[in-house]
Amino acid sequence: MRPLDPGDVNLYCRIYGDEDTMRHVGPPLSLARARRSFAGALRQTHAAAPAALFAAVTSTDGRDGIGICGLREIDLPRRCAEVGLLLLPTARARGLGKEVLCRLIERCLVPQLLDEIYLEYDLNNVPMAKLAMRAAFVPEEKAEKPLRRCVRRRSVA
């Protein structure tokens, strides 16, 4: 995993334009819209005070992009952010989602940058529900249909 850079435009467009990948997120983006979205994600990631941070998820050797992850809705006064993760179809069901979420948790919660990371997913997205459980996210009681919100909080010792 590394910060999003200009060379990730094709990966980003491929993921956000893929109907299967986007089925639980929203409609797939056209190539032109995906390129505009990528430009915005890049600007946000490299801003002085980012409201969102995006990263490319790479293969073990770091050469091939296999997904996009990041933090959105960063609220520093409340010390929380929403986490998101989209993987190419070939990278799914291999345990990579949990690995990526755990790395984000290590980088954000452990050094006490944030106290809470949450994710929201479509209730019909069974793989994401399983991933949230495996990564120790706890469902909130009030589910706003059709979304479920799960939270992972920093342990206070």
3-state secondary structure of 33: helix
The more confidently predicted of residues 107 and 13 is 13
Quick: pLDDT tens for 22-80: 888 889 999 999 999 999 998 888 887 777 888 888 877 767 888 888 888 888 888 88
**75 lies in some domain:** yes
| Arithmetic mean of pLDDT, 91-115 | 74
**The total number of structural domains that make up the chain:** 1
Out of 1-5, 121-125, 153-157, least confident range? 153-157
> The domain spanning residue 13 has which CATH number?
3.40.630.30
Look at residue 53 and tell me if it is in a domain: yes
With respect to residue 95, please indicate whether it lies within any of the assigned structural domains. Answer: yes
pLDDT for residue 15: 93
Classify residue 96: in a domain, yes or no: yes
Would 113 be classed as within a structural domain? yes
Whole-angstrom distance, CA of residue 9 vs CA of residue 46: 15
Q: Hey, which bits of 34-97 come out as E strands?
A: 53-58, 65-75, 80-87
Strands 53-58 and 2-3: antiparallel
Q: How far apart are the C-alpha atoms of 97 and 87, rounded to whole Å?
A: 8
Q: Phi, psi (5° rounding) for residue 61? A: -80, -5
Q: What local confidence, expressed as pLDDT, does residue 144 receive? A: 63
Q: Is residue 144 part of a domain?
A: no
**Whole-number Å distance between alpha carbons of 18 and 63:** 21
Q: Domain containing 10: what range? A: 2-119
Which 3 state secondary structure label does DSSP give 95? Answer: coil
pLDDT score, position 157: 40
